[in-house]
Amino acid sequence: MRTISITSGKGGVGKTSIAVNLGIALANRGKRVLLFDADLGLANVDVLLGTRAPYTLQHVLAGEKRVTEIVARGPGGLDFIAGGSGIQALVNLSGPQLDRFLTELSELERETDILIFDTGAGIDDTVMAFLEAADETLLVATPDPASITDAYATAKTLFARKPAANIRMVLNMVANVQQGEIVYGRVNTICRQFLDKTLHYLGAVRSDPDVVACTRKRQPFILAAPKSAASTDVGKLADRILGQFEQKDRRSLVERLRSVFGIALKKSA
């Protein structure tokens, strides 16, 4: 199972919108995709999907359901797990409880090709735990100077904790493709100069009125407006993801999560 974490340095850059529509694009390409809502502050994957999940992560942590029983079917063949307040509870689990959760989580690996973590924005331990555990991180930013500054801070923090991190940048809400390339170039130059690290460029998603309209209607734009500029761009992101992948960490997701959550818990203790 391939694991991808999608994050951003700040909120309001369309991170979850990218996660939802990219997940559907990958599912449309024949992959079994599971979107895990790991955003502690603003868990709203189900809102953007227009589908209410009957159960959330909280039901698992309360011992009422198993992880496999809370997987919900969204539009476009995308499966998802609603997080909500369960994410905070997950971080605070004790050793035996955490092991039980991770053991149940491992059951998903047999039924999933790509697991996407939609994390919160920022650089707290919870976010970083998911970024460290994933095979790769998609760092979403906009051309806004504050977004760029916070994206760099996120990359810097992740590289400090995981020097071999594979970070791929996605520029959202750009005026054109060229603007995305220019902004990426600036951020990557700073990373190479001050961190001696390289960010990879996945691509850009153009500003599109269809995105706004679909969001208000709680519809994924890649389904409601498949020929829009944003849908075309997200489709290209999906193609590049499927065409470029090298799994460097051979440990299972459960082994990696057990390791990084253990570190996160020690730091927060």
Check if the beta carbon of residue 193 is closer than 8 Å to that of residue 156: no
Bridge partners for 139 per DSSP = 7, 169
Q: Is the pLDDT of residue 110 over 80?
A: yes
Q: Is the pLDDT of residue 148 over 70?
A: yes
The span from the CA of 179 to the CA of 144, in Å, is: 12
Bridge partners for 140 per DSSP = 8, 170
- pLDDT category at 126 given cuts 50, 70, 90 is confident
Q: Helix, strand, coil shares of the chain as percentages rounded to 5?
A: 50, 15, 30
Q: What's the pLDDT at 40?
A: 65
Percentage of the chain exceeding pLDDT 90: 64
10 Å Cβ neighbour count for 251? 12
Q: What's the pLDDT at 44?
A: 82
Bridge partners for 8 per DSSP = 140
Q: What's the pLDDT at 216?
A: 93
pTM for the whole structure: 0.92
Q: Which amino acid is at 128?
A: M
> How far, CA to CA in Å, does 116 sit from each of 3, 16, 32, 128?
6, 11, 11, 15
Q: Is the pLDDT of residue 98 over 70?
A: yes
Task: Give the lowest-confidence range in 29-43, 107-121, 168-182.
Answer: 29-43
- Tell me the mean pLDDT in the region 25-31: 97
Task: Give the lowest-confidence range in 80-89, 199-208, 235-244.
Answer: 80-89
- H runs (alpha helix) in the chain: 15-28, 45-49, 57-61, 86-91, 95-105, 125-133, 145-161, 177-194, 209-216, 221-224, 229-243, 253-268
Q: Taking Cα atoms as reference points, which of 88, 180, 191 lies closest to residue 140?
A: 180
Q: Is the pLDDT of residue 214 over 60?
A: yes
- Tell me the mean pLDDT in the region 213-234: 97
DSSP tag of 120: P
10 Å Cβ neighbour count for 93? 16
Q: What's the pLDDT at 257?
A: 78
Domain range list for the chain: 2-268
Q: Is the pLDDT of residue 269 over 80?
A: no
Bridge partners for 117 per DSSP = 5, 36
- Tell me the mean pLDDT in the region 20-49: 90
Task: Please tell me whether residue 232 adopts helix, strand or coil conformation.
Answer: helix
- pLDDT category at 186 given cuts 50, 70, 90 is very high
Homologous superfamily of the 2-268 domain (CATH): P-loop containing nucleotide triphosphate hydrolases (3.40.50.300)
